[in-house]
């Protein structure tokens, strides 16, 4: 099952790292970085159902749930 509650230590620090990874890139380079990151993380997760849930959650609201 997809975990949508905060689950990463220091989420602000991670977000900063993510922004820094995009620094100086063109829009196309940034989109390519995101695509590679998604594929790498999907491979790491390795559960097609969980990845499918993440895709659906990303389309409708960023994956956040209430409660």
Over residues 9-64, the pLDDT tens digits come to 999 999 999 999 999 999 999 999 999 999 999 999 999 999 999 999 998 865 55
Residue 6 lies in a domain: no
The total number of structural domains that make up the chain: 1
7 in a structural domain: no
pLDDT at 67: 39
Domain that holds residue 35: 25-60
pTM here is 0.79
Enter the tokens of residue 20: 């820094």
49 lies in a domain? Answer: yes
Beta carbons within 8 Å of 1's beta carbon, 6+ residues apart: 50, 53
Q: Residue 30 class from Cβ within 10 Å (0-12 exposed, 13-18 middle, 19+ buried)?
A: middle
* 35 inside domain: yes
Taken in order 32, 12, 65, 61, the sign of the CA dihedral is: negative
Q: Higher model confidence: residue 6 or residue 62?
A: 6
- Residue 5 belongs to some domain of the structure: no
């Amino acid at each position: 099952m997809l975990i949508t509650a905060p689950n990463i230590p220091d989420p602000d620090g991670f977000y900063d790292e993510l922004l820094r990874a995009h620094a100086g890139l063109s829009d196309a380079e940034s989109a390519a970085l995101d695509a590679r990151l998604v594929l790498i993380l999907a491979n790491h997760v390795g559960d097609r159902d969980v990845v499918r849930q993440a895709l659906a959650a990303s389309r409708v609201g960023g994956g956040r749930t209430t409660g």
